[in-house]
Chains A and B, each alone.
Chain A
């Protein structure tokens, strides 16, 4: 079955430190992968996507993600975390017909 896994329910990081939010996928063929962020009681905001090309994808708010085909991973990264980055992060993979399958989400807490 095609799926996405976010192995960590929560990630804690100190402000100014680098952050990584993990995502692994299981899908046949070449995956289209997405990261979204959600603040409390709000909709999802698109951060970035991987379609093809460079394995390092740059997105909004200083976030980037690295696509690793051999490890079937698409981890979200940021060199220096901000308290305002604290939110719920979702990884998703596109299926046929533009359907998206989402991971369960990872809460990121950045402490000052």
Chain B
């Protein structure tokens, strides 16, 4: 899991509540990513950011929001609009620059459960 930390390890959300998942990296990577993992579906991209103060929607961005105010940090907020938030959330980071060097490295994950 290297230099990427995610907290908390487990998170419980009440109906109608927004919750924020933390992701921090000390790898000096420019790019960061959020994925959602559901059983039997692999990983799906929620949001990604290739540079500070800029981010793009992935395939399943509805009900989620992010910010990228610092290079090291890429927090994910699961809003009340996300009706099925129970999943394992994975953060990743990589360098940018092309030529196949942009291997993504993953954090240990946060499991979100709905009360």
Residues on A lying within 8 angstroms of B by beta carbon are: 9, 32, 34, 36, 41-46, 49, 51-52, 90, 94, 97-100, 102-105
Please determine whether A99 and B1 come into contact, CB atoms closer than 8 angstroms: no
Please determine whether A42 and B108 come into contact, CB atoms closer than 8 angstroms: yes
Question: Would A42 and B109 be within 8 Å (CB), given that A90-B43, A102-B42 are in contact?
Answer: yes
Please determine whether A102 and B106 come into contact, CB atoms closer than 8 angstroms: no
Q: Count the A-B residue pairs with Cβ separation under 8 angstroms: how many? A: 63
Please determine whether B100 and A51 come into contact, CB atoms closer than 8 angstroms: yes
Question: Would A105 and B42 be within 8 Å (CB), given that A51-B100, A98-B31 are in contact?
Answer: yes
B57-99 interface (Cβ within 8 A of A): 58, 88, 90, 92, 94, 96, 99
A42 to B88, CA, bound (A): 10
A79 to B42, CA, bound (A): 26
CB-contact partner of A52 in B4, B48, B90, B100, under 8 A: B100
Contact with A along B9-25 (1 / 0, CB 8 A): 00000000000000000
A93 to B84, CA, bound (A): 27
B1-59 interface (Cβ within 8 A of A): 1, 4, 6, 31, 40-45, 48, 50, 56, 58
Q: Quick one: which of A45, A52, A99 has the most chain B CB within 10 A?
A: A99
Q: Give me 5 other A-B pairs in contact (C-beta within 8 A), A46-B106, A105-B42 excluded.
A: A46-B104, A52-B100, A90-B42, A94-B102, A98-B50
Cβ contacts under 8 Å, B107 to chain A: 43
Please determine whether B1 and A43 come into contact, CB atoms closer than 8 angstroms: yes
Please determine whether B100 and A99 come into contact, CB atoms closer than 8 angstroms: no
Please determine whether B42 and A34 come into contact, CB atoms closer than 8 angstroms: no
Tell me how many residues of B have a C-beta within 8 Å of chain A: 30
CB-contact partner of B42 in A51, A97, A103, under 8 A: A103
Please determine whether A99 and B45 come into contact, CB atoms closer than 8 angstroms: yes
Please determine whether A43 and B96 come into contact, CB atoms closer than 8 angstroms: no
A49 to B101, CA, bound (A): 10
Question: Would A49 and B100 be within 8 Å (CB), given that A42-B1, A90-B43, A105-B42 are in contact?
Answer: yes
Please determine whether B58 and A102 come into contact, CB atoms closer than 8 angstroms: no
